[in-house]
Amino acid sequence: MPLLHIVILAVVQGITEFLPISSSGHLILAWHSFDAIGMNGIEQAEQDRLTLDIAVHVGTLLAVCCYAWREIGQMLGGLGRLAVGRWTPGARLAVMIVVGTLPLILVGGLFKDQISTHLRSTAVIGWATIGFGVLLFVADRSAMTLRRIDHMTFRSGILIGLAQVLALIPGTSRSGITMTAARFLGFERVEAARFSLLLAIPAILGAGTLAGCDLYASGNLKLGYEALIGGVMAFVVALVSILLMVGWLRHASFTPFVIYRILLGGVLLWWVYAV
């Protein structure tokens, strides 16, 4: 695959993975665009595309781990203390992440094939991009801003986890829907983003594991320079995107992301129904 295409995919993944604008939707659209315009050299076997997809997801996983290293250390230490019967804030946060992840694992595991077969159309991405963007706007404007991650309860963790299941629909945005749920529950914008980032760690690990199993089943396990370049670029772009997003949310709202989603969804639906 030409270097330009690798760069495009890595940048798209890095920017969109943690912003509330849907990484899966953007990646699907990127591949559709490559195929539609017949770019030279883009004809890739499914295994090669899968390899690159895994690489960019690993890059973004390392980025969020670098950003959230304190919370990760706190959770690991908390789990160690929990093993000897001590309930600490770190253990509590780790349990909340597990509670918030279980619904996605269960539904994703049961319906992965149906979702990949029936929900990857441009029309679905367009409608989901607009609909869940508007929902984010409503949550951001109507919810009170009182709660921090320290105030997370089992009920809140489960509700955010159930909302995360909707991210299996391309165009929804895993980060977007979890931030939306957290805002509806009264969490501050930065706190909603922080919890969403922590939830991304098991979500990306799970998606990467499933993709890795598919790659193993295909018998094609080679990792060349394409995967390395894609992973490194996705890591750098994702880390910068996280820092910029959190910095923005300390002083402003989700409105720019909502506007972008509505414009993008409108263009996609125009493309589907008018062209």
Among the ranges given (24-28, 96-100, 111-115, 196-200), the one the predictor scored with the smallest mean pLDDT: 111-115
Distance in angstroms (rounded) separating the CA atoms of residues 70 and 74:
6
Q: Each residue of 200-225: pLDDT tens digit?
A: 999 888 877 766 676 566 665 555 67
Beta bridge pairs of residue 27: none
pLDDT of residue 221: 53
Q: Each residue of 162-188: pLDDT tens digit?
A: 999 999 888 999 999 999 999 999 999
Look-up of token digits 């390392």? 62
Q: Residue 34: phi, psi to the nearest 5?
A: -60, -45
Predicted confidence (pLDDT) at residue 229 exceeds the cutoff of 90: no
pLDDT, mean of residues 187-202: 95
Distance of CA 140 to the CA centre of its chain: 19
pLDDT of residue 41: 46
- How confident is residue 39, by pLDDT bands cut at 50, 70 and 90? low
Distance in angstroms (rounded) separating the CA atoms of residues 108 and 206:
10
Nearest to 19 by CA among 179, 141, 183, 198: 179
Predicted confidence (pLDDT) at residue 8 exceeds the cutoff of 90: no
Distance in angstroms (rounded) separating the CA atoms of residues 260 and 22:
11
Percentage of the chain exceeding pLDDT 70: 86
pLDDT of residue 90: 93
Distance in angstroms (rounded) separating the CA atoms of residues 157 and 196:
11
Q: Which amino acid is at 11?
A: V
SS3 187: strand
Handedness of CA 239, 28, 263, 135 (dihedral sign): negative
pLDDT of residue 1: 62
Distance in angstroms (rounded) separating the CA atoms of residues 265 and 111:
25
Q: Each residue of 140-162: pLDDT tens digit?
A: 998 777 889 988 899 999 999 99
Q: Each residue of 40-65: pLDDT tens digit?
A: 544 455 556 667 777 888 899 999 99
| Domain residue ranges in the chain | 3-274
pLDDT of residue 217: 67
* 254 contacts 137 by C-beta, under 8 angstroms: yes
What's the mean per-residue pLDDT of the chain?
A: 86
- Max mean pLDDT among 9-13, 41-45, 131-135 falls in 131-135
The CA distances from residue 54 to 161, 177, 212, 274, in Å, are 23, 23, 7, 34
Distance in angstroms (rounded) separating the CA atoms of residues 137 and 254:
7
Q: For the chain, state the CA radius of gyration.
A: 19
pLDDT, mean of residues 119-138: 91
CB burial of 220-258 (b: ≥16 within 10 Å; e: otherwise) equals eeeeeebbebbbbbbbebbbebbeebbebbeeeebeebb
Distance in angstroms (rounded) separating the CA atoms of residues 163 and 184:
11
